Amino acid sequence: DTGVSQNPRHKITKRGQNVTFRCDPISEHNRLYWYRQTLGQGPEFLTYFQNEAQLEKSRLLSDRFSAERPKGSFSTLEIQRTEQGDSAMYLCASSYREVGGYTFGSGTRLTVV
């Protein structure tokens, strides 16, 4: 197993465009998390999936953001009508226990120009 994989690693987009990121978790992990990290800050929780069910969404996740995890495998995070404030590192993590540590991917760095 190669760990949590995120694509693309980097994305530069113009304001107003839509972007989609993909996360492939560790195969035996049924829990998947999306976090956002801005410069100089720690990761902030966005949303959580257990299998294919999205169980929690943070208030940080505005209605321009949507996440899916079809069939409980990979997940996608889409941002519509991007704004400059969306520029950040988007991190995906997975785990097989609720209270164990998460394994993070390398992240997707989004720059909105």
User: Applying CB under 8 A, which residues contact other proteins?
Assistant: 4, 6, 33, 35, 40-45, 48, 55-56, 58-60, 91, 93, 98-107, 109
Residue 71 phi/psi, 5-degree rounding, is 60, 15
State the pairing for strand pair 19-24/75-79: antiparallel
Amino acid letter, residue 102: Y
Which CB atom, from 70 or from 101, has the smaller least distance to other proteins? Answer: 101
Radius of gyration of the chain, Cα coordinates, nearest whole angstrom? 13
Least Å distance between CB 18 and other proteins? 24
To other proteins, the closest distance from the beta carbon of 6 in angstroms equals 8
Instruction: Output the six-digit token pair for 25.
Output: 């978790």
- Residue 45: CB minimum distance to other proteins, A: 5
